Amino acid sequence: MSDIPIKLEGVWKIFGTRAEEAMAAVRSEGLSKNEVLARFGAVIGIADVSFDVHWGEIFCIMGLSGSGKSTLIRHINRLIEPTAGRVEVLGRDVTRLSEPELRAMRSQKIGMVFQHMALLPHRSVRDNVAYPLEIRGAPKGRRWEISQHVLSLVGLDGFEDRFPDEISGGMQQRVGLARALASDPDVLLMDEPFSALDPLIRRQLQDQFKALSEQLHKTTLFITHDLDEAIRLGTRIAIMKDGRIVQIGTPVDIVTNPADDYVRDFVRNISRLKLVFAHAIMEPLTSDSAEKFAQSPRVSQDSDLDHLVDVAITTPHPLVITNAEGKDIGVVSKDRLLRGIQGGK
């Protein structure tokens, strides 16, 4: 199998009857979104998006509504055809697949979870979960046994003979997740799976999903409009605006080095206590000032700000940061700590 399970290169999506013309014009003249709308009556959904997703990671795509993230995720299994560009999944260009190949890919390699669950109301939970297997023509006994297993993975033992409208929203979405896992796909696509749920249940499901994905090592593309969620779950995060990707990075990258004002605006209200670590805010220690901090408590450079605050409360002195070998490498004064919590100003 290929090294990179999902790879997008220069993907464009323009909606409208004159999409092709608009695409050509955008290529040659570099029109803006509004110009395209005015001239061709076409709307740019996705503009020149490229990224790679690595094996086993949860790649979050974060953006506000209308930023094109849901359109983007539908390119991965070609529910939407790209206007231009290349979408590679597991080493195959999905835009070139024939109809049966595409169906095989969808039913065996890619699982998908939807924002509003999209369960089949006329089938029991078990038959919902077994749907992808049924499509593949698996015998019933096998379908039942697999659905049983996947349902137990998501903690829904004993609910298999209920109907979707008999269980709560959180459970329904777990059924959705189980359905996506049932065909044992390599790639999971999650389209804002938790955003329709109550905050408390959302948190529960996030934790459950994180644990599950660590256990199963699926490659996940996760769409969300909630930066908190992206930071909690994402190995890496891509931030989208108006169909373009503004920034890609790890949660810490995004929070500490926002690429532009748009991202900065988002990041401002994110709690940094668990995200930022001592080495990021410390002042390097010059060798001569070592004895000045003899009284100071020693803290490892990998401690997060939360821990630094805990320590700082107990002492009037600034904190000294040590590296892995226990050597002093920096110092954090209370002022610096407060600024660090507040974010780069």
Partner 1 sequence: MIYRTRENSSQSVADAVPHIADSVRAFAVARGDYYARVMIRIQSHAGFVATFNWGAAVFGPVWAAARGLWGLFSCFAVLELMALVQLSRGLFSDLGAVPRARADRLGENYERMLARVQAARDQGDETGADALARNAERLQAALEKALDQAQEAAAAGVELVIFGLFAFVLIKGIEGISANIAYEKHYSRWRADKRVRAGFQWTGAAVGAVFVAAVYSIALYGFTVAEPVAFIHTFPADKTHYQMLAAAIDRVFDQTATDFGVFFDGIARGIRFLLDGLEVVFVQTPWPVVMVVITIFAWRLAGPRVAIFTVAALAYIALLGFWEKAMETVSLLGAASFLCVAIGIPLGIWFARSERVYAVARPVLDLMQTLPSFVYLIPIIAFFGTGKPPGILASMVFGLPPIIRLTTLGLREVPKDVTEASRAFGATRWQTLTGVEMPLALPSIMTGINQTILMCLSLVVIAALIDAKGLGYDILAALQYAAKGQGILAGFAILFCAVVIDRLVQGGIKQKKGPR
Partner 2 sequence: MPANRTQGATGNAPSIDLTPSITEFVGARAAFYVGRFKLLLAGQNRWRVNWAALIFGPLWAAARGIWAFFWLFAILELVAWVQVGRGIWGDLGADKLAEAARLQAKSDQLMAEAARGDTNAELLVESAGNLARAAENARAASEAGEASTTTYLLVGLLLLGLFKLMEGLWADRVYERQYTRWRVDKRVPSGFNLYRLAGGCALLLLVFSLTLYRFTVSQPDQRIVSVPVPSTYHTHTANLIEDYLDRTARAGAGLFNSIAGGTEAVLNAIEAVFVETSWPVIVIFFLLAAWRLAGGRVAIFTGAALAYMGILGLWEKSMLTLALVSSAAVFCVLMGIPLGVWCARSSRVYAVVRPVLDMMQTMPAFVYLIPIIAFFGTGKVPGILATIAFSMPPVIRLTALGLAQVPKDVVEAARAFGATQWQLMTGVELPLAAPTIMTGVNQTILMCLSMVVIASLIGARGLGQEVLVALQFVAKGQGILAGLAILCCAMVLDRIVQGRFRRGDGA
For residue 18, state whether it binds partner 1 (rule: CB under 8 A).
Answer: no
Q: Does the footprint of partner 2 cover residue 24 (CB under 8 A)?
A: no
By C-beta, is 77 or 296 nearer to partner 2?
Answer: 77
Residue 165 DSSP class? G
Q: Which residues contact residue 105 at a Cβ distance below 8 angstroms, ignoring those fewer than 6 apart?
A: 77, 89, 90, 92, 94, 97
Q: Which is nearer to partner 1, 52 or 186 (by Cβ)?
A: 186
CA 202, 207, 210, 214: dihedral to nearest 10 degrees?
-160
Cα 282 to Cα 4, 144, 259, 278, 327, distances in angstroms: 36, 56, 22, 6, 14
Q: Which residue in 197, 258, 189, 188 sits closest to 227, CA to CA?
A: 258
Query: Of residues 3, 30, 98, 122, which one binds partner 2 by CB under 8 A?
Result: 122
Residue from 24, 118, 216, 290 binding partner 2 (CB under 8 A) = 118
* The one segment of 8-16, 61-69, 120-128, 274-282 that binds partner 2 by CB under 8 A: 120-128
Task: Figure out which of the listed residues 88, 127, 192, 229 binds partner 1, where binding follows CB under 8 A.
Answer: 127
Q: From the list 110, 119, 146, 275, which residue makes contact with partner 1 (rule: CB under 8 A)?
A: 146
Q: Is the CB of 124 or the CB of 271 nearer to partner 1?
A: 124
As measured in angstroms, the least distance from the Cβ of 298 to partner 2 is 53
Token readout for 178 is 């189980």
Partner residues linked to 152 by β-bridges: none
Q: What is the DSSP string of 242-305?
A: TTEEEEEE-HHHHHHS-SSHHHHHHHTTS--TTT-BHHHHPEEPPGGGGGGGTTSPEEETT-BH
Nearer to partner 1, 148 or 300 (CB): 148
Structure tokens at 17: 């009857």
216 lines the binding site for partner 1 (CB under 8 A): yes
CA 208 – CA 254 distance, rounded (Å): 24
**Residue with the two structure tokens 């948190």:** 203
| Binding partner at 190 among partner 2, partner 1, none, C-beta below 5 to 8 Å by kind | none
Q: Is 108 in the site for partner 2 (CB under 8 A)?
A: yes
**Judged by CB under 8 A, which stretch of 16-24, 67-75, 156-164, 328-336 contacts partner 1?**
156-164
Helix (H, G, I), strand (E, B) or coil at 142: helix
Closest by CA position to 127, among listed 169, 96, 156, 160: 160
Q: Judged by CB under 8 A, which of 47, 89, 110, 181 binds partner 2?
A: 110
- Binding partner of 124, given partner 1, partner 2, none, CB within 5-8 angstroms per partner class: partner 1
Stretch that binds partner 1, among 30-38, 153-161, 199-207, 262-270 (CB under 8 A): 153-161
Query: Nearest approach, Cβ of 116 to partner 2 (angstroms)?
Result: 5
Helix (H) or strand (E) run with residue 169 in it: helix 169-182
Contacts with partner 2: how many residues (CB under 8 A)?
29
Distance CA 49, CA 46 (A): 7
**162 lies in the site for partner 1, by CB under 8 A:** yes
Candidates 22-30, 104-112, 235-243, 247-255: pick the segment binding partner 2 (CB under 8 A): 104-112
**Residue in 138, 196, 259, 280 binding partner 1, rule: CB under 8 A:** 138
Rule CB under 8 A: say whether 131 interacts with partner 2.
Answer: yes
Binding mask 178-197 for partner 1 (x = CB under 8 A): ---x--x-------------
Pairing of strands 58-62, 219-224: parallel
β-pairing, 328-332 vs 319-322, is antiparallel
The residue ranges that bind partner 2 (CB under 8 A) are 74, 77, 79, 102-108, 110-112, 114-116, 118-122, 131-132, 134-136, 179, 183, 189
The residue ranges that bind partner 1 (CB under 8 A) are 123-124, 126-127, 137-142, 144-146, 148-150, 153, 160-163, 181, 184, 216
